[in-house]
Amino acid sequence: MYMPEIGERIKQLRMQRGISQVQLAQHLGISKSVVSSYENAVHFPPYDILLKMAWLFGVSTDYILGAAGNRALNVEGLTEVQIEAVMRIVDELRRVNREK
**In this predicted structure, what is the pLDDT of residue 72?**
66
For the chain, the domains span: 4-65, 74-100
Span of 17-31, 39-53, 58-72 with lowest mean pLDDT: 58-72
Kindly state the average pLDDT of the residues 11-23: 92
Q: Give 4-65's CATH code, choosing from 1.10.357.10, 3.40.50.720, 1.10.260.40, 3.20.20.210.
A: 1.10.260.40
Name residues whose C-beta falls within 8 Å of residue 57's C-beta, 6 or more positions apart in sequence.
13, 14, 17, 64
pTM above 0.85, yes or no: no
56 vs 87, higher pLDDT: 56
Average pLDDT, the chain: 87
Confidence of residue 1 (pLDDT cuts 50, 70, 90): very low
Residue 67 predicted with pLDDT over 90: no
